Amino acid sequence: CKILRCNSDYVAATLHLRGPDRGAAFCTALRSYSLCTRRTARTCRGDLAFHSAVHGIEDLMIQNNCSKEGPTAPPRPRPPAPNPHGFESLDICDYERSFLYKHGRPPGFQHCAAFGDPHIRTFHDDFHTCRVEGSWPLLDNDYLFVQATSSPVAKGSNATVTSKLTIIFKNMKECIDQKVYQAELDNVPAAFQDGSVNGGARPGGSSLAIWERSPGRHVEIRADYIGTTIAVRQAGRQLSFSIRAAEEVARAFTEEQDLQLCVGGCPRSQRMSRSPRGRGRVPAETARALCREMLPVEDVYFQSCVFDVVTSGDTNFTMAAHGALEDARLFLPDAEKLHIFQ
CATH of the domain at 230: 3.40.1000.10
Strand order across the 179-184 sheet: 134-140, 144-152, 160-169, 179-184
Is 84 within the bounds of a domain?
no
What average pLDDT does the segment 146-150 reach? 94
Is 230 within the bounds of a domain?
yes
What is the model's pLDDT at position 56? Answer: 86
Same domain, 117 and 43: no
Is 286 within the bounds of a domain?
no
Burial of 313 (0-12, 13-18, 19+ CB in 10 A): middle
What is the model's pLDDT at position 25? Answer: 85
Contacts of 54-58 spanning 24+ positions with Cβ under 8 A: 56/102, 56/103, 57/30, 57/33
pTM exceeds 0.75 for this model: no
119, 172, 109, 157: which is closest to 281 by C-alpha?
A: 157
CA atoms within 13 A on the CB side of 77: 3
Contact present, 139 and 145 (Cβ < 8 Å)? yes
Is 193 within the bounds of a domain?
yes
Residues 236 and 145: their CA atoms lie apart, in Å, by 25
Same domain, 125 and 27: no
**Per-position DSSP letters for 168-234, written without gaps between them:** EE--BTTTB--EEEEEETTB--SS-TTS-SBS-SSTTGGGEEEEEEETTTEEEEEEGGGTEEEEEEE
Pairing status of strand 127-130 against strand 134-140: unpaired
Same domain, 48 and 137: no
20, 64, 16: which is closest to 34 by C-alpha?
A: 64
What is the model's pLDDT at position 71? Answer: 82
240-267 pLDDT, tens digit each: 999 999 999 999 999 888 889 999 998 8
Is 325 within the bounds of a domain?
no
Same domain, 122 and 45: no
Please check the confidence at residue 21 and state whether its pLDDT lies above 70: no
Domain end position, chosen among 31, 62, 93: 62
Same domain, 39 and 150: no
Same domain, 56 and 111: no
Give the contacts of 248 (CB within 8 A, at least 6 positions apart).
48, 52, 107, 227
% residues pLDDT > 90 (the chain): 51
What is the model's pLDDT at position 179? Answer: 96
Residues 120 and 233: their CA atoms lie apart, in Å, by 15
Please check the confidence at residue 317 and state whether its pLDDT lies above 50: yes
Confidence label for 277 from pLDDT (cuts 50, 70 and 90): low
Residues 336 and 334: their CA atoms lie apart, in Å, by 5
Is 280 within the bounds of a domain?
no
Q: Which domain holds residue 249?
A: 107-270
Same domain, 151 and 206: yes
Same domain, 23 and 156: no
Same domain, 23 and 170: no
Count of residues in the chain = 342
The mean of the pLDDT values for the chain is 87
Range with lowest mean pLDDT among 108-117, 156-165, 199-208, 291-300: 156-165
Q: How many domains does the chain have?
A: 2
Is 151 within the bounds of a domain?
yes
Is 93 within the bounds of a domain?
no
Please check the confidence at residue 226 and state whether its pLDDT lies above 60: yes
Same domain, 5 and 141: no
Domain end position, chosen among 270, 288, 322: 270
Same domain, 168 and 26: no
Same domain, 149 and 259: yes
> What residue type is 118 in one-letter code?
P
Please check the confidence at residue 341 and state whether its pLDDT lies above 70: yes
Domain end position, chosen among 219, 236, 270: 270
